[in-house]
């Protein structure tokens, strides 16, 4: 529910096989899984990845390695024009495959340079390449599209996708909003590199993930080219278009810092944003080597999107952030962005670590100890709002009750309490080993809750975690003992 985000204001269906040539003449070759020409005859890829919470998100049959997105946006008309060149590898012989795209008009699709047929149904864009794709082959799909991108309303009522602002727009993608502005394999299990070129009216800027490769102005329009080399989940891709004040610096270790702030938020943001280098150094000490090639922030101004988002390398804040939120979003770069959830059921791993990072930051910087925060949550007086204190126990973090609850207090706070219980069991040294080792073991990958519990057990083979998993991670209701 959006209201919980207070402290961050600041069926799977398969295609019927498509007979692509004369049914009679090809009947035998179809049985032999070859085309009439003797080539491979594939079958369609799946239209979803059976995510337990977002079953239509993502698609089967291929694995994307790179998105090359060329966009132009006219804020006055709220009009987006895009060309997406998607490089992917077929994981089976394919006669057709899907991309996720919600809204917008598709003007044309090619695969390997040849015109492809396509059809649309809801968020599913089905592409039928001229030639079937062979398992293991790398293929390039180009989608040309245009229109007014949509704001996506999630099962919990929160808004994502394309969000118009007073001076431009902001794209947010957690959990599924990226399909509002580019076609892709919209699930965290398929991470890829990105190049994004965005053309906007001169005077406005486009700020995205990764590093700014070029900025060129011609004929009253400016094009910004952003590059993300490290694997990125689609939900972490962003672009912010509008007026921004830019500050560039480097951390002590030489990491580029690129901060973009909406001018109306500049003064209120300054003190907290100045702490980015210090928070980065603390986070590297605590979580291990930073997984990306740059850092920073995008501070925009949004009326009703009240949550910040850990967009890769450059978190988005909907207004001037507070320090806790900055620490939280920076911690997500390790937990969530580098080690990404296998499915949306595993999102507590993101939020528990990012929340626990806030507790650790407080503990290391003269604030409350993590034990105190844990005790307040257990007693039920951590938040001024009684309903919020109670919601911590609504369902177990390892099994959110539905897609409408994946960002509820249990996922954040009770998730962090799971981590604290692990720390109590193994002691501080082993806990830090686990936090760093987990980030290292799955760096730039994906991991599930089962991977995590197995990892913890392997790190401390003499300890018994069964009650923690049963009561705190998977149990219904408030555990009887803190």
Beta-sheet strand order (sheet of 138-147): 114-115, 105-111, 138-147, 79-90, 62-74, 192-201, 221-232, 211-218
| Residue 427 Cβ vs ligand TRP, minimum distance, rounded to whole Å | 28
Task: Name which of Zn ion, ligand TRP, none residue 8 binds, using a CB cut-off of 5 to 8 Å depending on partner kind.
Answer: ligand TRP
When the beta carbons of 191 and 225 are compared against ligand TRP, the nearer one is 191
Span interacting with ligand TRP, options 81-89, 139-147, 259-267, 304-312, rule CB under 6 A = 304-312
Taking CB atoms, the residue at the shortest distance from Zn ion is: 354
| Residue 328 Cβ vs ligand TRP, minimum distance, rounded to whole Å | 6
Radius of gyration of the chain (CA): 23
| Residue 346 Cβ vs ligand TRP, minimum distance, rounded to whole Å | 13
| Residue 310 Cβ vs ligand TRP, minimum distance, rounded to whole Å | 5
Strand partners, 198: 71, 224
Q: Does 354 bind Zn ion (CB under 5 A)?
A: yes
| Residue 76 Cβ vs ligand TRP, minimum distance, rounded to whole Å | 28
Q: Does 307 bind ligand TRP (CB under 6 A)?
A: yes
Helix axis angle for 276-287 and 347-364, nearest 10°, is 110
Please give the size of the binding site for ligand TRP, defined by CB under 6 A: 15
Q: Does 327 bind ligand TRP (CB under 6 A)?
A: no
Task: Name which of ligand TRP, Zn ion, none residue 5 binds, using a CB cut-off of 5 to 8 Å depending on partner kind.
Answer: ligand TRP
| Residue 432 Cβ vs Zn ion, minimum distance, rounded to whole Å | 21
Q: Does 327 bind Zn ion (CB under 5 A)?
A: no
| Residue 332 Cβ vs Zn ion, minimum distance, rounded to whole Å | 6
Task: Name which of Zn ion, ligand TRP, none residue 460 binds, using a CB cut-off of 5 to 8 Å depending on partner kind.
Answer: none
Distances (CA, A) of 476 to 120, 219, 381, 416, 479: 41, 61, 20, 16, 8
Span interacting with Zn ion, options 96-104, 252-260, 351-359, 465-473, rule CB under 5 A = 351-359
Exactly one of 407, 431, 452, 472 binds ligand TRP (CB under 6 A); that residue is 407
Exactly one of 96, 309, 362, 435 binds ligand TRP (CB under 6 A); that residue is 309
When the beta carbons of 156 and 351 are compared against Zn ion, the nearer one is 351
- At 244, list the tokens: 């921004």
Task: Name which of ligand TRP, Zn ion, none residue 308 binds, using a CB cut-off of 5 to 8 Å depending on partner kind.
Answer: ligand TRP
Exactly one of 124, 132, 156, 190 binds ligand TRP (CB under 6 A); that residue is 156
Q: Does 84 bind Zn ion (CB under 5 A)?
A: no
Span interacting with ligand TRP, options 1-9, 67-75, 245-253, 293-301, rule CB under 6 A = 1-9
Of residues 48-77, those binding ligand TRP (CB under 6 A): none
Which residues are CB-neighbours of 106 under 8 A, at least 6 positions away?
118, 120, 125, 143, 144, 145, 183
Distance CA 140, CA 80 (A): 22
Span interacting with ligand TRP, options 211-219, 246-254, 303-311, 451-459, rule CB under 6 A = 303-311
| Residue 281 Cβ vs ligand TRP, minimum distance, rounded to whole Å | 21
Helix axis angle for 276-287 and 428-441, nearest 10°, is 100
Per CB under 5 A, residues contacting Zn ion are: 351, 354
Residues that bind ligand TRP (CB under 6 A): 2, 5, 8, 156, 158, 174, 307-310, 328-329, 351, 354, 407
């Amino acid at each position: 529910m959006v209201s919980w985000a207070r402290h961050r204001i600041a069926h799977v269906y398969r295609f019927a096989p498509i007979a692509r040539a004369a049914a009679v003449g090809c009947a035998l070759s179809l049985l032999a899984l070859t085309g009439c020409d003797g080539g491979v005859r594939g079958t369609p890829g799946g239209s979803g990845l059976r995510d337990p919470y977002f079953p239509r998100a993502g698609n089967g049959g291929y694995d994307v390695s790179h998105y090359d997105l060329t966009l132009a946006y006219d804020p006055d008309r709220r009009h987006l024009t895009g060309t997406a060149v998607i490089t992917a590898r077929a994981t089976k012989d394919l006669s057709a495959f899907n991309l996720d795209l919600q809204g917008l008009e598709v003007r044309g699709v090619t695969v390997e340079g040849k015109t492809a047929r396509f059809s649309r149904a809801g968020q599913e864009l089905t592409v039928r390449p001229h030639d079937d794709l062979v398992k293991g082959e790398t293929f390039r799909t180009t989608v040309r599209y245009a229109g007014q991108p949509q704001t996506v309303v999630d099962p919990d009522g929160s808004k994502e996708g394309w969000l118009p602002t007073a001076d431009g727009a902001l794209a947010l993608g957690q959990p599924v909003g990226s399909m509002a502005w580019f076609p892709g394999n919209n699930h965290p299990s398929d991470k890829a590199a990105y190049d994004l070129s965005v053309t906007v009216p001169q005077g406005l800027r486009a700020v995205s993930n990764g590093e700014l490769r070029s900025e060129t102005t011609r004929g009253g329009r400016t094009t910004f080219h952003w590059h993300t080399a490290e694997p990125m989940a689609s939900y972490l891709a962003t672009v912010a278009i509008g007026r921004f004040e830019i500050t560039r610096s480097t951390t002590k270790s030489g990491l580029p810092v690129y901060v973009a702030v909406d001018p109306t938020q500049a003064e209120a943001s300054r003190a907290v944003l100045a702490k980015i280098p210090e928070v980065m150094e603390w986070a590297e000490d605590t979580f291990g080597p930073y997984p990306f090639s740059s850092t920073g922030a995008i501070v925009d101004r949004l009326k009703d999107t009240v949550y910040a988002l850990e967009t890769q390398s450059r978190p988005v804040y909907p207004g001037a952030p507070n320090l806790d939120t900055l620490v939280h979003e920076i911690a997500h770069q390790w937990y969530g962005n580098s080690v990404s959830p296998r499915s949306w059921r595993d999102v507590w791993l993101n939020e528990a670590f990012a929340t626990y990072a806030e507790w650790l930051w407080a503990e290391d910087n003269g604030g409350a100890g993590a034990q105190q925060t844990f005790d307040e949550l257990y007693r039920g007086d951590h938040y001024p709002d009684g309903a919020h204190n109670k919601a911590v126990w609504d369902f177990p973090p390892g099994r959110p009750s539905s897609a409408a609850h994946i960002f509820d207090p249990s996922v954040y706070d009770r998730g962090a309490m799971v981590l604290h219980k692990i720390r109590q069991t193994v002691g501080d040294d082993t806990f830090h080993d686990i936090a760093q080792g987990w980030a290292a073991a799955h760096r730039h990958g994906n991991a599930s809750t089962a991977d995590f519990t197995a990892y913890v057990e392997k790190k401390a083979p003499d300890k018994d975690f069964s009650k923690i998993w049963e009561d705190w991670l998977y149990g219904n209701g408030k555990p009887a003992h803190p």
